Amino acid sequence: MSKKIVILNGSPRPNGNTAALIEQFTKGAEQNGNQVVRFDLQRMNIHGCLGCCKGGKNPSAPCVQNDDMNKIYPHYVDADLIVLASPMYYWGISGQLKIAFDRLFAVAECDANYQNPVKGCILLMAAEGDTEENFEPVRHFYHSLLKNLGWKDCGIVYAGGNMDAGAVLQKPQQLQAAFDLGQSIQ
Ligand SMILES: Cc1cc2nc3c(=O)[nH]c(=O)nc-3n(C[C@H](O)[C@H](O)[C@H](O)COP(=O)(O)O)c2cc1C
């Protein structure tokens, strides 16, 4: 059965390595009949969470802030699978992605017990470093996040060794891994 997939793209570089991974992933996923919606967070007007804990009153626009998160919320609620796509910035996800993810708390606030909707999740990450050690902090963050949300890990592509925008285009194995992961979704 086809899945609804939401990609949160945390890279600011339109022709960067994360974008190339997303393109391949999307090709694979769409070839398999899945529906993919992508949000390029850098181009959106999204503010950081205020920590007011006053959201959750209106399910279609659950946050007290009215910005471009309102374009994401309905797709997020509907989605089977969320793709976190990001360059590694200081051994973490980019600020663009973290800010958007924090704002998803407003959806949990719609539930009396602050339950997050249960999703599958995928991580696509480009980075300069290419060692196990370099990816360890992100691996830990990603798996802790999923454990606490009760989400299922549906796959990860760590594309290391890529500094310049487009460097990953010279690494067919990494592009193939992103494509194969997309195609594995059913
Ligand atoms: C602010 C900043 C911080 C970065 N921090 C790391 C890091 O901690 N580890 C690493 O391996 N690469 C780091 N990089 C390199 C990027 O992850 C790498 O260039 C990646 O391919 C960028 O993805 P993009 O082309 O999608 O923007 C950093 C780059 C920038 C601009």
Pick from 12, 2, 1, 3: nearest CA to 99: 12
Query: 36 alpha carbon to ligand 1 midpoint, in Å?
Result: 25
Q: What is the atom index within ligand 1 of the atom nearest the CA of 167?
A: 21
Question: Which residue has the least CA distance to atom 26 on ligand 1?
Answer: 18
Exposed e or buried b for every residue in 80-113, given b needs 16+ CB within 10 A? Answer: bbbbbbbbbbeeebbbbbbbbbebbbbbbbbeee
Question: Contact, 5 vs 83, CB < 8 A?
Answer: yes
pTM over 0.85: yes
The stretch 29-49 carries a mean pLDDT of 98
Q: How far is the CA of 52 from the centre of ligand 1 (A)?
A: 32
pLDDT over 90 at 1, yes or no = no
Give me the pLDDT at residue 171, please: 98
pLDDT tens, residue by residue, 84-123: 999 999 999 999 999 999 999 999 999 999 999 999 999 9
Residue 119 domain boundaries: 4-183
The residue to which tokens 């090709």 are assigned: 27
| Res 37: pLDDT | 98
The CATH number that applies at residue 89 is: 3.40.50.360
How confident is the model over 144-154, as a mean pLDDT?
98
- Ligand 1 binding site (Cβ under 6 Å of any ligand atom): 11, 13, 16-18, 87-91, 126-129, 134, 162-163, 165
Count of the separate structural domains present in the chain: 1
Q: Output the average pLDDT for the chain.
A: 98
Q: What is the pLDDT of residue 133?
A: 98
Using the atom order of ligand 1, give the atom closest to the CA of residue 88.
17
Q: Which residue has the tokens 């994401």?
A: 72
**C-alpha span between 26 and 33 (Å, rounded):** 11
Distance (Å) from CA 11 to ligand 1 centroid = 9
